[in-house]
Structure 1
Amino acid sequence: MRIPAARLPHWLKTIASEVYLYWRFTRYDISATVIPGMLFMLAAWHSAQPDWHALPGLVVWGMIYFWLYCTTFCLSNQLAGEAEDRLNKPDRPLPSGLVSRRGTWIRWFGTMILFTLVGWWLGVVEWTLLWQVTLTLHNLGGFARHYWLKNLAMMLGVIAQLAAAWQMVRPLTPEAYTWLILAALTAFANISIQDLRDIDGDRLNNRRTLPIVFGTNFTRGFVAVAFVLSALLTHFALFVPFGLNVGALLLDLVLAGLCLVIAGRVLLFRTTAADHVSYMLYTYWYCFVLAAAIVVL
């Protein structure tokens, strides 16, 4: 029998409301944070002698760690961009009135402390601190206002994410460094795709993103070329050196096809909604790259 919400214990209602609130803060960023981290963690587990008994614990701790990785960024990002969100994303918790700024600050400080403790417990505190410094500079220190600092921050974020994912399972190897460095380099160029969907909000916040500084036509051309080059880089740097078996070849073709689809969409479909879809496809491509590491490494 279903218990009416009004009859639920107060503590249970509080937990349910907090879960819902955090979901509202993070729901658009899970495919770029939690899922990639978990996939590369599984690649590290699979590349050694897979210990099936250790896997459930790794999955639980990985979910906790990368949820904190995501949440610490989203809370501070939305605190800094509340005015922009009132224009572009009024359904987010702050502009919709679901939570106060004071409440969001308290939650951010709390999750930052918890993130540090979990990173220390898992033996990846150096990568945790790198991400905390990077996200603070990006969201609250002005890095997000200039295109190359913003892209640099995202590149460092990828390094912190993937290095922690691997190291919480086993020490970093040359193969792991190859994978995470290439992912970081492609992120430095490809991440500008998200700026195409937020131009009005970026102008409101006096940001100097790539489309605002160089124009949308240049940015679309730059991003399209970057995705074509990403297809070539992943093929020659990630797949060819480790051998092209049937599974790796299929993944290689899927990733190349997705890069070409994104490049074509960026050039041909020029609405905010279309740019959002293109950005989400980029996050899926990123996830597929890391899923391929499970097969290849």
Structure 2
Amino acid sequence: MSKPQASSTSSRLQEGSMTLCQGESRTKLELKLTAIDTSTLAIGLAPKTAKAALYFLKTLYLFSKSDIPTYVVPCTLFGTLSTLSGSSLISAPVSIPTLLLRVPTVALWAWLFCVFFNCSNQRSPDSVLEDTINKPHRPIPAGRITSSQTGLCMVIGVPSVLLFNYFLLGAWEEMAIMYVVMYLYNDLHLGDNFFWKNFLIATAGNGVYNAGSLRLASGTARASYFTSDASELLTPTAMKWIALVSSAVLITMHSQDLRDLEGDRARDRRTLPIVFGENIARWSIAVPVLFFSLAAAWFWNSGFIGYTEICVPGSIVAYRIIFLRDTKQDRKTYTLWAVWLMALYALPLLKSLP
């Protein structure tokens, strides 16, 4: 009896071993199939994820599109041209190759504020109504994103940008100030009043904006206003120049209101052209543009080339403001007003040239 029992036991062991091997094979096969499914899923999701990311980035671009030529480009040029001008505006000279490497950083910094300011500005019901009339191509009236989704984007984006500036880009103090002004302008509706609108844009949208741009371009953005001495920041001449440019913006900024009259009336905004009348508003832009053209050239003790460089675009803007009075022309004039600002920003560089 012992031999049959041993044979039976051996047979059972062989069967168990075969079952175990088959189980291991099935497990390995299942793992391989799972890996294949995961890879296939990842490959399938990758284009969708990339497409969603591109869609989101395009939406952010569309929020800021109209302000890139009038805010981001001039701000970037201010920092770049002022740094090129040399020691009158910055504490230490910067080589041209180094400056060129910093230009994308300056542009990114300027755009990061611009995009979230526009998200904040365009998400309220009144703004959506205004944009439906004036700018239906913007993301919310065009249906690319909802107001609530835009708000969520800001909740995540604004703190992220501040941390990004604090740890990497620099100039975080300027960005923080501008985000506070963004809240005052949009959420507390100070932008609905022409005085506060111009004042906030001139101080934060131009003065602080340009100071941050100059610090990034000149390499002093990592120095803190709270811990650094004046030699590590901006020169006294730079501060005076920023104040002069900000004054020019403060007094002539309502040139943008002329292109938005229909939407502003629909929203019941008290802009200067609506409160005082279009004629007074136009003259209150044309005359100061000419005045600040001369004042800026005098500030830099410019020669004939300097006076010509700023007075020609200033005269064109003044002429168009007074004599070309329809919405289409006012939009073109506002773009030329931004060109005049960039000519203003170039004066220090012209002065530094031999």
Superposition TM-score, scaled by structure 2 size: 0.75
Equivalent position of 2:155 in the other structure: 109
Equivalent position of 2:12 in the other structure: none
CA positional deviation for 1:107:
1.9
Question: Which residue among 141, 145, 148 is the counterpart of 1:99?
Answer: 145
CA contact (8 A) 1:40 1:294 kept: no
Cα deviation, 1:41-70, whole Å, max 9, x if unaligned, reads 223543242235533542232222111021
Whichever residue aligns with residue 99 of structure 1, its letter is: I
Matched, 1:62 2:106: yes
Q: Which has the higher contact order (CA 8 A, sep 6+)?
A: 1
Question: Which residue among 220, 226, 241 is the counterpart of 2:282?
Answer: 220
Find the aligned partners of 2:306 and 2:297 in 1 and give their Cα distance.
Answer: 10
Equivalent position of 2:214 in the other structure: 166
CA contact (8 A) 2:185 2:200 kept: yes
Find the aligned partners of 1:189 and 1:224 in 2 and give their Cα distance.
Answer: 10
Matched, 1:75 2:119: yes
Of structures 1 and 2, the larger Rg is shown by: 2
Equivalent position of 2:265 in the other structure: 203
Equivalent position of 2:77 in the other structure: 39
Distance change (3 Å), C-alpha of 1:98 and 1:251: farther
CA positional deviation for 1:251:
4.4
Whichever residue aligns with residue 319 of structure 2, its letter is: G
Equivalent position of 1:282 in the other structure: 337
Find the aligned partners of 1:145 and 1:53 in 2 and give their Cα distance.
Answer: 44
Find the aligned partners of 2:122 and 2:114 in 1 and give their Cα distance.
Answer: 12
Is the deviation greater in 168-177 or in 91-100? 168-177
CA positional deviation for 1:158:
0.7
Secondary structure, counterpart of 1:33 in structure 2 = helix
CA contact (8 A) 1:40 1:166 kept: yes
CA positional deviation for 1:188:
0.5
CA positional deviation for 1:15:
2.4
Whichever residue aligns with residue 108 of structure 1, its letter is: M
Whichever residue aligns with residue 197 of structure 1, its letter is: R
- Which aligned segments of 4 or more residues in structure 1 are displaced greater than 4 angstroms? none
Equivalent position of 1:178 in the other structure: 240
Whichever residue aligns with residue 68 of structure 2, its letter is: I
Question: Which residue among 1, 15, 24 is the counterpart of 2:62?
Answer: 24
Equivalent position of 2:24 in the other structure: none
CA positional deviation for 1:176:
1.2
Is the deviation greater in 71-80 or in 39-48? 39-48
Equivalent position of 1:3 in the other structure: none
Find the aligned partners of 1:38 and 1:25 in 2 and give their Cα distance.
Answer: 19
Find the aligned partners of 1:233 and 1:154 in 2 and give their Cα distance.
Answer: 21
Cα deviation, 1:254-274, whole Å, max 9, x if unaligned, reads 221111111111111110111
Equivalent position of 1:137 in the other structure: 184
Residue-pair matches, total: 285
Find the aligned partners of 2:83 and 2:136 in 1 and give their Cα distance.
Answer: 41
Superposition TM-score, scaled by structure 1 size: 0.89
Equivalent position of 2:132 in the other structure: 86
Q: Alignment identity in percent?
A: 27
Is the deviation greater in 80-89 or in 48-57? 48-57
